[in-house]
């Protein structure tokens, strides 16, 4: 406990009095001519549009001045719905400089959900990208009387509305205001304090309406400083930001950390473009939700399986065995011998390094996963490539991570140990509790929900069940509310079953069901990219995924996936029946959150007839 409090005091002294506008000013002064943000908007195919830190800072100040001139008041909320692009980041930080509170809203929310968020948060300014976002906000713009300014990045869809202004015109207005009345903005920015909200994030949620998580400058600065201590990284930061900026991990790593330490961030609007961007950018650090790592693994595995040269395939397998041995030896308590180091360096030079280069991961010094438990087999696969993927654990309500792996605290199958200055313990029922300067002050305008989140001593109830080993490493079992309790009283973690099922290259998503039932069943979907490739290799003709899912050969492969999973599960956990659906689960179709986590309630509802049959 003394070590925790000492580290906390050190970090708090380091960030004392700082705000994001202050850190950004320092970064712009120190790295002015260096690239800050790049995106593909308006760039030639394969190219990038880039702003330097000086240009970025100037745009932030111009937009901030424009917002102040248009009546934004201190504490007003500013809603943003746009893809990951330079203007999104500029608008967010501009709102902060103007004394407002930016809220990036998931672009997959329905008009009804948008209306709920707008009605609850009462923004005075809304920044939208184009026609799609404008359509999603149509009802909210009509009903929400607090909105006095609507900014459109795409001026071609500027509505006939007195509140509407194009992004280009707002920049011009702001520059003029800064020229004639510079004190208006400088006074507003100077009044921002470390305890002020830096954002409100409406969680995507797997159930119910989203709640607005308030995060302060102090929350963000403490989290960034503590995380960087554990990560142990230095050198150039080259990053790819591809998750929605409404996601706390992406905001922290792609927005806040660079505006504290500098770096070059490549904003990718469509996650489907990630693979191409990886090969082109070759980032020095990389964050992937488990589904991204699974997709990369599946692609590599499929290519290895298609290799017809047996000697070459055996050589790759031998090299990956050495890679896994090397990474496993780097765990706490392990030792990398001189002999193992030499074997790894030889294999890395000949095989593993070139394989990472093909993926665009050859320069990665720090790779991590979060948002859901990382399947151990996936982590071991990348260990075979010579990569340590540091699993981290946290939630929006804790400003992202409260535990993390790192060079000095690495153990496969765990999410590392508590970050510096943060306390983590387990409740009597195994629920993970966290406390420290990273915890949210509370939910926006929801005191009852805040009271449920935190106890009187400031411990945040995460809703996750975990296990702590003797060395302080945390392992995630599953969501507390998602644990399956069968009719015989057996407690089962569904994510464990689902991760085994998804090891089959043809399986895209899986959901295990069995709460209150005598046995476990599963609903499966095909991988929309890999399954068709496998079918083509087998000479199977099909018209679409629904047709493919009905093919006997594909259903036999799904059965093999179930059998392989069952071989590794205890009898009460084994899947007794399954259904292979002919549709994909996506955020747009609502089975997944925008960060690709499963919405069990939605799947249960949509697949109720399937589940009835499986239990029939």
Q: What is the 3-state secondary structure (H, E, C) of 181-230?
A: CHHHHHHHHHCCCCCCEEEEEECCCCCCCCCEEEEEHHHHHHHHHHHHHH
pLDDT at position 509 is 94
Sites in the chain below the pLDDT cut of 70: 204-208
Is pTM beyond 0.85 here?
yes
To the nearest 10 degrees (0 to 180), the angle between helices 274-281 and 290-306 is: 80
Token pair for 299: 């692609």
pLDDT at position 375 is 87
pLDDT at position 2 is 76
Q: Work out the number of other CB atoms within 10 angstroms of the CB of residue 43.
A: 12
Contact between 525 and 505 under an 8 Å Cβ cutoff? The reply is: no
Give, as one character, the DSSP assignment of residue 97: H
- Residue 479 is inside which H or E element, if any? strand 474-479
pLDDT at position 291 is 84
pLDDT at position 207 is 52
Token pair for 128: 């939208």
**Which 3-state string (H, E, C) describes 342-380?**
HHHHHHHHHHHHHHHHHHCCCCCCEEEECCCCCCHHHHH
Question: What whole-number distance in Å separates Cα of residue 136 and Cα of residue 296?
Answer: 32
Q: What is the pLDDT of residues 203-251, one digit of tens each?
A: 865 456 789 999 999 999 999 999 999 998 888 899 999 999 999 999 9
pLDDT at position 205 is 52
pLDDT at position 61 is 98
Annotate 482-515 with DSSP letters as a single string: G-EE-TT--EE-HHHHHHHHTTSTTEEEEEEE-T
Contact between 390 and 367 under an 8 Å Cβ cutoff? The reply is: yes
Full set of structural domains in the chain with CATH: 20-192+236-279 (3.40.50.12780), 290-479 (3.40.50.12780), 483-614 (3.30.300.30)
Q: What is the pLDDT of residues 275-334, one digit of tens each?
A: 899 999 999 999 998 888 988 998 898 888 888 889 999 999 999 999 999 999 999 999
């Amino acid at each position: 406990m003394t070590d925790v409090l000492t580290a906390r005091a050190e970090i708090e002294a380091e960030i004392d009095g700082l705000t994001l506008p202050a850190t950004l000013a320092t970064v712009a002064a120190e790295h002015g001519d260096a690239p800050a943000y790049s995106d593909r908007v308006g760039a030639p195919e394969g190219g990038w549009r880039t702003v330097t830190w000086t240009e970025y800072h100037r745009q932030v100040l111009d937009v901030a001045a424009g917002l102040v001139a248009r009546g934004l008041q201190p504490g007003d909320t500013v809603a943003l719905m746009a893809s990951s692009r330079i203007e999104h980041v500029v608008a967010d930080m501009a709102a902060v400089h103007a004394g407002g509170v930016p809220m990036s809203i998931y672009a997959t929310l329905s008009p009804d959900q948008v209306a709920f968020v707008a009605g609850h948060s009462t923004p005075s300014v809304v920044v939208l990208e184009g026609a799609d976002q404008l359509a999603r906000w149509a009802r909210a713009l009509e009903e929400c009387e607090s909105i006095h300014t609507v900014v459109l990045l795409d001026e071609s869809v500027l509505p006939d509305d007195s509140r509407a202004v194009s992004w280009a015109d707002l920049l011009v207005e702001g520059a003029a205001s800064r020229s004639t009345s510079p004190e208006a903005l400088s006074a507003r920015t100077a009044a921002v304090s470390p305890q002020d909200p830096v954002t409100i994030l409406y969680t995507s949620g797997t159930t119910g309406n989203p709640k607005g998580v308030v995060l302060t400058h102090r929350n963000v600065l403490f989290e960034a400083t503590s995380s960087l201590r554990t990560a142990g990284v230095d050198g150039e930061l080259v990053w790819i930001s591809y998750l929605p900026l409404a996601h706390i991990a992406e905001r922290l790593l792609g927005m806040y950390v660079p505006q504290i330490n500098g770096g070059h961030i490549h904003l990718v609007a469509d996650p489907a473009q990630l693979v191409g961007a990886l090969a082109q950018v070759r980032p020095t650090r990389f964050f992937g939700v488990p589904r991204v790592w699974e997709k990369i693994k599946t692609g590599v595995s499929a290519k290895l399986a298609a290799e017809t040269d047996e000697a070459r395939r055996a050589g790759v397998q031998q090299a990956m065995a050495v890679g896994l041995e090397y990474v496993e030896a780097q765990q706490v308590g392990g030792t990398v011998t001189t002999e193992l180091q030499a074997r790894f360096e030889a294999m890395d030079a000949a095989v593993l390094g070139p394989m990472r280069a093909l993926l665009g991961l050859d320069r990665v010094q720090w790779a991590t996963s979060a948002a859901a438990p990382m399947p151990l087999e996936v982590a071991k696969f990348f260990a075979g490539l010579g990569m340590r993927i540091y699993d981290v654990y946290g939630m929006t309500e804790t400003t992202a991570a409260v535990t993390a792996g790192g060079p000095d605290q690495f153990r496969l199958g765990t999410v590392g140990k508590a970050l510096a200055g943060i306390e983590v313990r387990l409740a009597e029922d195994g629920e993970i509790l966290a406390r420290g300067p990273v915890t949210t002050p509370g939910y926006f305008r929801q005191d009852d929900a805040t009271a449920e989140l935190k106890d009187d001593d400031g411990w945040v109830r995460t809703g996750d069940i975990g296990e702590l080993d003797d060395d302080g490493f945390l392992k995630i079992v599953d969501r507390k509310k998602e644990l399956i309790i069968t009719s015989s009283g057996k407690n089962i973690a569904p994510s464990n079953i689902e991760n085994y099922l998804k090891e089959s290259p043809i399986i895209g998503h899986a959901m295990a069901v069995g709460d209150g039932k005598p046995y476990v069943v599963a609903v499966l979907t095909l991988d929309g990219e890999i399954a068709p490739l496998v079918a083509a290799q087998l000479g199977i003709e099909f018209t679409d995924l629904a047709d493919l899912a009905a093919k006997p050969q594909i259903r036999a492969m799904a059965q093999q996936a179930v059998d392989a999973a069952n071989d590794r599960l205890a009898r009460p956990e084994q899947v007794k029946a399954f259904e292979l659906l002919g549709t994909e689960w996506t955020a747009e179709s609502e089975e997944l959150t925008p960060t690709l986590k499963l919405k069990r309630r939605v799947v249960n509802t949509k697949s109720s007839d399937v589940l009835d049959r499986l239990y029939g």
